[in-house]
A and B are shown apart, each in its own frame.
Chain A
Amino acid sequence: MGKVLELENVHKAYKLGFILKKKPVLKGVSFHVNEGEIFGYLGPNGAGKTTTIKCILNLIFPDSGRITIFGEDSLRPRARQKVGFLPENPYFYDYLTGREFLAFYADLLGIHGQLREEKIKYFLKLVGMERAADLQLRKYSRGMLQRIGLAQALLNDPALVILDEPMGGLDPIGRKEFRDIIVNLKKEGKTVFLSSHILQDIEMICDRVAIILAGEIINQGYLGDLISEKVLFTEVIIGGVPAAEFSHLGESVSTSGDRVLLKVFEEEKIDRVINLVQQNKGKIISLLPRTETLEDIFVNMVKNQ
């Protein structure tokens, strides 16, 4: 599996106004993205996610370090030949209609004539924007801009698709559709670089992740390696038994009516909980073992830093 994108020790600092003092934003970022995978780039707001992406796309220049796309130095425009990009909060020429907008980018990418029309039609359908195609972008909602933006990113049939917070402005249905599109891109053999702070999305679809915090990569690897299968605790919802009965077995999180939500940390105590419920003629409504999630890892790391 070849490396599609590689960053080696990338540093970037922004100047603060007229004062010569510089604020470091990226402090030696290194990671690589393998061919054909969905790579999640995770970090809280202000961690340096967008700055990293801008460095990759040559919108800002790193102070030091090296970035290669398909083995080509990212400073060369040719390196971006097979790259598609959807920015966070996409901003586009709002006086163009959706169709004109795609035509403009197709022209820029050297796609003309019949092929251009076919591609526009295909991608409008893919992102579900056929009906709004002849509406000016100024009349689009944020979710619609996100969709047309994705179409724009895919026009040149890119081998690497870079998406910066792609699901930010979408409703739950939209997010599911976007996830499906991203998974399909992987099936087509494309590599996807996805930056997000919505952990569920990353957990659901990404193969590998890198976590960035305050400009430094603090962890990276396969999701399976990062998340342990160990059961952290078991959530038990019990009906008909007062919460006080379980105080020695676990932590009662909430009660509503005659229902109790109990957090049991030791596995051997679960049987005792079940026995106690049966003795009190109550019932177990649900029993859910909770394994570690990406969110747990993420929150722990942020806390530790």
Chain B
Amino acid sequence: MKITTIALNTFKEAKRDRVLYLLFFFVAVCLLFSRFLALLTVGDRVKIIKDVGLASISLFGMLMAILMGTGLVYKEIDKKTIFTLLSKPIHRAEFLLGKFLGLVLTIFIMTVLMTAVFMLILFLHTFAVDWKILLAILYIFFELCLMTAVALLFSTFTTPILASLYSLAFYLIGHLSWSLEMLIKKVKSGAGRVALRVLYTVLPDLENFNFKTEVVHNLPIPGKLLGVSFIYGVVYTAFLLLLAMLVFRRRDFV
């Protein structure tokens, strides 16, 4: 119940954030732009709209998660609102979880809105509804939840600017780490291969949540892959939240 109260208050606060509306505006512009881009393309125009649309939702969703997530805890400490909050009989873990869920709720609603705009533009072009798109967006949402946890983790111990840079680095590494897997296959077995394997395990692989290509090009998606990706997301997010709680547990609010 305490977590819900904090989450709803976080949602209320996030709703007031102008960044949110600015980003939403840019998504709408990008989605519209995809329609014009399609006109310039030879071949399957629908694919271009889908591709640009999904990429926009993913990119701007990520910016929302980072820009708002990194300020979440920092703002409470900076504005000293945390003093009265934590003087009540609540655990610091409950506070963090409330903050996380509040932002996840905000991002969920934003994703739904972005999806609605996207589906409308797509429908106006094709006069058909492609439900598979929703699957790709669902996994984008899982990735955004993970990114929120990343931003929250950094926001427990550093300023929003640094936390944003760290989160962005995490995002970039997460989308490039799949190349390590390719490299592992090419390296001969030995110490080097083991080191690469360890590195790949520790680093996030956000490509696990990327089903855009499969959806856009109508390729089959194995159920097992969806299951593994889902479990990967849940475990990694839980791990990040646990880490954030550990950092936050003994922090002094001077």
Name A's B-contacting residues (CB within 8 A): 14, 54, 57-61, 77-81, 83, 85, 87, 89-93, 95-96, 104-105, 107-110, 149, 152, 156, 162
Contact = CB atoms under 8 A, between A and B. Distances in A.
B254 interface: yes
A93 B84 CA distance: 11
Contacts of B12: 95-96
A104 B84 contact: no
A59 B86 contact: yes
Nearest to B250: A61
A152 B252 CA distance: 23
Given A58-B87, A59-B252, 12 more contacts: A59-B83, A61-B250, A77-B89, A85-B87, A90-B84, A91-B83, A95-B12, A104-B5, A105-B88, A110-B2, A149-B84, A162-B87
A47 to B, nearest CB: 16
Contacts of A152: 84
Interface string B53-79: 000000000000000000000000001
A83 B90 CA distance: 12
A14 B89 CA distance: 25
Given A80-B88, A81-B89, A87 B9 contact: no
Contacts of A89: 80
A14 to B, nearest CB: 7
Contacts of A58: 86-87
B81 interface: yes
B127 interface: no
Contacts of A57: 83, 86-87
A104 B1 contact: no
A43 to B, nearest CB: 18
Contacts of B13: 93, 95
B254 A110 contact: no
Contact of B84 (A81, A85, A95): A85
Contacts, number: 75
Interface of B: 1-2, 5-6, 9, 12-13, 16, 79-91, 250, 252-254
B89 A87 contact: no
14 contacts: A54-B83, A58-B87, A59-B82, A59-B86, A60-B252, A60-B253, A78-B89, A85-B83, A85-B84, A90-B84, A107-B2, A108-B88, A108-B90, A156-B88
Given A14-B254, A61-B252, A83 B81 contact: no
A245 to B, nearest CB: 59
A162 B81 CA distance: 17
A87 B253 CA distance: 13
A105 B84 CA distance: 9
Given A60-B252, A93-B13, A95-B13, A87 B88 contact: no
A104 B81 CA distance: 13
A60 B254 contact: yes
A156 B90 CA distance: 13
Contacts of B5: 104, 107-108
B16 A95 contact: yes
Contacts of A162: 87
Nearest to A12: B252
Contacts of A96: 12
Contacts of B88: 80, 105, 108-109, 156
Contacts of B80: 87, 89, 91
Contact of A91 (B79, B86, B91, B254): B79
